Amino acid sequence: MTFTDTHAHLYDEAFADEEDLAIARSVEAGVTRIIFPDIDSQTREHMFRIADRHEGTVFPCLGLHPTSIDGTWEKEMEKLHEYLPRRIWAIGEIGMDCYWSKEFIREQEAAFRMQLELADRLSLPVIIHSRESTELIINILKDLRHLNLRGAFHAYSGSVETFRELQKLGDWYIGIGGVLTYKKASIAETVKQLPLDRILLETDSPYLTPVPHRGKRNESSYIPIIASRLAEQTGRPLEEIAAVTTENAHKLFGI
């Protein structure tokens, strides 16, 4: 069986000097493709260097994360555009975040819209970060319904009803990660009602570590744990989970 981690930050400082080892462990565990969502200019060059070393395994993206947006966001967008000549696989991680701060919420929306339009121009999928901002994001997607938008909602925690509403606004997949293994996690019930051909596996390494490793650094080699839990919840064979989620990643990202 082979798997794909559609959301991992193995270039984060939590993996300092261990990035290559973490990727090697992932490949050994059957996780043969790993998507790197971008955050901002502070880590971008390091992310691309790792991706260059692991071409065919690591697939870098380009985007400005909502929590990296402040009064200087336009300068950050200029820096992002400098990397457009590079081979990228999605625009992301982009979106809205009302959990950490609402101080720059208008700037977040402006940057989000700009990057959605960029993805449309480049015919690329997007990776959306949505934290306590579902209604805001849905309203923006409605406003930009004329664009050919497609992508993944990272760390999905919404309802079945929200999932159905999103499908009217584009071609959307949902990312399922370590939270699925947590006690009382609502997504554990929701996945039972979601079509498998819309589900992607992800870790969000080094965050959201699945049980039994919760409390430690997460990494892409833990994807089979998440896949096993998804198999249990949906009553499907693990082999089917691996095959369908891998095919989903191929369809969306072309990897």
Does the CA dihedral 209-29-233-155 come out positive or negative? positive
Structure tokens at 116: 């959605």
Tens digits of per-residue pLDDT, 43-58?
999 999 999 999 999 9
- Opening angle at CA 198, ends 193 and 203, nearest 5: 100
Interatomic CA distance for residues 49 and 15, integer angstroms: 14
Q: What is the DSSP string of 188-206?
A: HHHGGGS-GGGEEE---BT
**What's 209's DSSP letter?**
P
pLDDT of residue 102: 87
Tens digits of per-residue pLDDT, 175-209?
999 999 999 999 999 999 999 999 999 999 999 99
Phi, psi of 93, rounded to the nearest 5 degrees? -95, 120
Residue 243, classified by CB atoms within 10 Å of its CB into exposed (0-12), middle (13-18) or buried (19+), is: middle
Phi, psi of 217, rounded to the nearest 5 degrees? -65, 130
Per-residue pLDDT band for 97 (boundaries 50, 70, 90) equals: very high
- For the domain made up of 3-253, the CATH class stated in words is alpha beta
Confidence (pTM): 0.97
